[in-house]
């Protein structure tokens, strides 16, 4: 963690357990503004639970989450989204029976009374322009009129990213953006993320594809058994023996048996 930047997003000592399993165990993480931060760790190490805790999908039993210095602990997903934190899901959540373009208008935040919202057509011309621009950016414009349910797995991931971008979040949490995505397009996805980052967007990315994470991210956090045990530059993470241990060492199943 670089000392010169204030924490943009910070999780302090978060704890969350399911039955006897501690999905988050005194977990702390700091994200710097304007950086691409990676979060890696073996399956079951608590990465998605941490995402859920940050974005309000799951409550935490102990600890706090701060965004831009304000506590966002216990806020609902919509409140957190309204603050400018957008996320994607490991299993994408798109609006399958609506067209790709219609998906783009769901997250637009327009202030208007319900009566106006019932009568006025969806999508102002500015919103439409913006949606077109974003769809062009992720390469889905040609499919704008197709039902979102007809998209392939990778395209759904792009659509999920696209419809979040319309609300212009400052922090994007991506849960396995490259998972299941065709190898040659992973690079392109990385380019998209770098470009958005160059526009000032901060990223936190959970990913299993080590090459992808280590080449893309400015810094990487490694989780194991519900907490972040190391943070460093990609090259430090790459050469740290503890990281290898976390992946290849004690299996979660064994650990559960060992811990009384």
Partner 1 sequence: MSLVNPTKSTKRIGLLLAVIVLVAFPLIFNNPTVTTIATYCVMYMAIATAWNSFSGFTGYVSLGHAIFFGTGAYTLSLISTGLNMSGGFPVFALVPVAGIAAGALAIPIGFVALRTKRHTFVVITIAAFFIFQLLAENLGFTKGSEGVTLAPGGFAASDYNNPFYYASAVILILTVFLVWHIKRSRFGLQLFAIRDEESRARSLGVKVDRVKLVSFVLSAIPVGMIGAIWAYFIGQIYPQFAFAASFDVTVALMCFFGGLGTLAGPVFGALVLEALQRYLVLSLTIQNLYLIIYGLLFLAVIVLLPEGVLPSIKKQISKRLLPTGADVSFNSPDSATSGIPQASAANKEPVKEGKAL
Distances in whole angstroms, Cα of residue 96 to Cα of each of 103, 122, 147: 9, 18, 6
Binder of partner 1 out of 2, 59, 70, 117 (CB under 8 A):
117
Q: Identify residues 169-198 at the interface with partner 1 (CB under 8 A).
A: 181-182, 184-185, 188, 191-192, 195
> Taking contact as CB under 8 A, which single stretch among the options 14-22, 29-37, 118-126, 216-224 is the one that binds partner 1?
118-126
Give min distance, CB of 184 to partner 1, in A: 7
Give the x-and-dash track for 198-237 against partner 1 (CB under 8 A).
Answer: ----------------------------------------
Q: Which 36-65 positions form the footprint of partner 1 (CB under 8 A)?
A: 55-57
Secondary structure of residue 36 in the 3-state scheme: strand
Tell me which residue of 31, 51, 12 sits closest to 170, measured CA to CA. 31
Write the DSSP assignment of 174-210 as a string of letters: EESTTTT--HHHHHHHHHHHHHHHHTT-EEEEE-S-H
Among residues 106, 140, 98, 152, the alpha carbon closest in space to that of 132 is found at: 140
* 83 touches partner 1 by CB under 8 A: no
Rounded Cα gap, residues 125 and 142, in angstroms: 19
Say if CB 54 and CB 46 are below 8 A apart: no
Size of the site for partner 1 (CB under 8 A): 64
154 binds partner 1 (CB under 8 A): yes
- Report in angstroms how near the CB of residue 115 gets to partner 1 at its nearest: 9
Angle at 196 between CA 191 and CA 198, to 5 degrees: 95
Note the residues at the interface with partner 1 (CB under 8 A).
55-57, 77-78, 81-82, 93-99, 101-102, 105-110, 112, 114, 117-123, 128, 133, 136-147, 150-155, 157-158, 163-164, 167, 181-182, 184-185, 188, 191-192, 195
């Amino acid at each position: 963690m670089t000392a010169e930047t204030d924490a943009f997003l910070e999780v302090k000592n978060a704890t969350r357990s399911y039955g006897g399993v501690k999905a988050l165990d005194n977990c702390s993480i700091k994200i710097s503004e304007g950086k691409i931060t990676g979060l890696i760790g073996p399956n079951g190490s608590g990465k998605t639970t941490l995402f859920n805790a940050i974005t309000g999908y799951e409550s935490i039993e102990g600890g706090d989450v701060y965004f831009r210095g304000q506590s966002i602990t216990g806020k609902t997903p919509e409140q957190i989204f309204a603050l400018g934190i957008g996320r994607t899901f490991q299993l994408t959540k798109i609006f399958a029976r609506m067209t790709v373009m219609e998906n783009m208008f769901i997250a637009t935040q327009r202030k208007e009374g319900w009566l106006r919202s019932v009568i006025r057509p969806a999508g102002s011309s500015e919103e439409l322009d913006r949606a077109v621009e974003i769809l062009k950016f992720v390469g889905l414009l040609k499919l704008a009129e197709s039902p979102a349910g007809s998209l392939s797995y990778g395209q759904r991931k792009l659509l999920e990213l696209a419809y979040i971008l319309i609300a212009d979040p400052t922090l994007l949490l991506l849960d396995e953006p490259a998972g299941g995505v065709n190898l040659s397009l992973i690079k392109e996805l990385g380019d998209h993320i770098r470009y958005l980052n160059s526009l000032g967007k901060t990223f936190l990315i959970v990913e299993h594809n080590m090459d992808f994470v280590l080449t893309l991210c400015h810094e990487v956090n490694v989780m194991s058994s519900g907490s972040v045990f190391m943070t460093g530059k990609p090259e430090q993470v790459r050469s740290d023996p503890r990281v290898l241990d976390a992946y290849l060492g004690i299996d979660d199943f064994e650990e559960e048996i060992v811990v009384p």
